[in-house]
Amino acid sequence: MKCSCLRNAAGAAAVILASFSFCSPVLAAVQSDSGAAGTEGSQNRVLVAYFSRTGENYAVGSISSGNTYLVAKEIAEQTGGRLFEIRTAYSYPADYGECVKKAREEKDANTRPELAENIDVSPYDVIYLGAPVWHGDLPMAVYTFLESGDFSGKTVRPFNTHEGSGSSGFDVKIGKAVPGASVTGVLSIQGKEAQNETHKLPFKVRNWIKSE
């Protein structure tokens, strides 16, 4: 019952978001960040893997740094972990409406999009895993990432950004995808806050990191 309510709420949010249109010009932007913080030799063996999209998005206009990326960067800075961007082999449309449509098709088909590159997770004990909420769920590419690695015995700490759907059960969904891992509570931050109020991120991230 609880799950179905959550699904309905997430679906409703997706419909609302999908019907929102923008007037601002689209700026196709590239994020170059894999390995930007921390190293494979980090003593704490922390990986910060994230999916994030640039271009036109809900409530923030056209952005050159994705909302989730900004949170991931802060986590990497605080933990000394290695940043890894989960990217698909193809680019999602910079246009918000077109991206919503593409993501919907992928979710409906339960697709596992090919990744542009992957990372061996075996050297890491703790994996911070972040993504935006897409249609009440993880972007399908994150499932590709989860299903292609051995997460047994790892601790996975999920975080997301969203525009109303909150945690969207990311911890449960990730736990189902990697049953051998220990999955902790989700850090959820509204996308427009991550984008426009970045000064709040250090405090929120620090408290969450300390919480478990």
Q: Which residues of this chain interact with ligand FMN, rule CB under 6 A?
A: 10, 13-14, 17, 52-53, 57-58, 66-69, 99-100, 103, 132-136, 161-165, 191
In the bound state with ligand FMN, the residue whose beta carbon lies nearer, of 50 and 124, is 50
DSSP the chain: -HHHHHHHHHHHHHHHHHT----SPP-------TT-SS-TT-TT-EEEEE----EEETTTEEESS-HHHHHHHHHHHHH-PEEEE--BSSPPPSSHHHHHHHHHHHHHTT--PPBS-----TT-SEEEEEEE-BTTB--HHHHHHHHTS--TT-EEEEEEEESS-TTTTHHHHHHHH-TTSEE-PPEEEEHHHHHH-GGGHHHHHHHHHHH-
Minimum CB separation of residue 122 from ligand FMN in Å reads 26
The residue sitting closest to ligand FMN, measured at its beta carbon, is: 191
Collect all residues with Cβ–Cβ distance below 8 Å to 131 and sequence separation of at least 6: 50, 51, 52, 68, 86, 138, 139, 142, 160, 170
How does strand 82-85 pair with strand 182-183?
A: unpaired
In the bound state with ligand FMN, the residue whose beta carbon lies nearer, of 45 and 107, is 107
Q: Could you tell me the two tokens for 183? A: 């999955």
Minimum CB separation of residue 31 from ligand FMN in Å reads 10
In the bound state with ligand FMN, the residue whose beta carbon lies nearer, of 44 and 99, is 99
Minimum CB separation of residue 116 from ligand FMN in Å reads 16
Minimum CB separation of residue 62 from ligand FMN in Å reads 11
Minimum CB separation of residue 183 from ligand FMN in Å reads 20
In the bound state with ligand FMN, the residue whose beta carbon lies nearer, of 33 and 163, is 163
In the bound state with ligand FMN, the residue whose beta carbon lies nearer, of 26 and 182, is 26
In the bound state with ligand FMN, the residue whose beta carbon lies nearer, of 100 and 121, is 100
Minimum CB separation of residue 55 from ligand FMN in Å reads 9
